[in-house]
Structure 1
Amino acid sequence: MFYRQIILNKGIPFSLTIPKSLLAQDDMNEKTFNALMAKGYDQAAQSDSYPIDDVFKELDC
């Protein structure tokens, strides 16, 4: 399913951002973890992503 989404979106089907503080799953309780997973699922379902070519152009700054 992941690879199909990459093909359909012509790129990674979610935004790639680094939060100010990174939490590991071991550092979260179940409620926090589930909320984080739900947010990611919602972003993927809404096609909130960028084409891979645009991502690489931005990285080449």
Structure 2
Amino acid sequence: CRYCFAGGSFLADCSMDEMIEFCVSHMASAHPGMTEDKARCMMREFFPTLKRWKGA
């Protein structure tokens, strides 16, 4: 997404788990009623499907 990728490269040099932990509070606050645990669970299912994290 535009927050992670620009100019042909990834902006943050971090692991998938580090990225998930960074995103948890943002995702939970953007979706009223979603807990941080639920956000974390959803990202742990979704992130491995992304090109950057496949095989991570």
Larger strand share, 1 or 2: 2
Question: Do these two structures clear the TM 0.5 threshold for a shared fold by scoring above it?
Answer: no
Q: TM-score range by the shorter chain?
A: 0.3 to 0.5
Larger Rg: 1
Query: What TM-score, normalized to structure 1?
Result: 0.32
Larger helix share, 1 or 2: 1
Query: What TM-score, normalized to structure 2?
Result: 0.34
Q: Looking at both structures, which has the greater relative contact order when contacts are Cα pairs under 8 Å and sequence separation is at least 6? A: 1
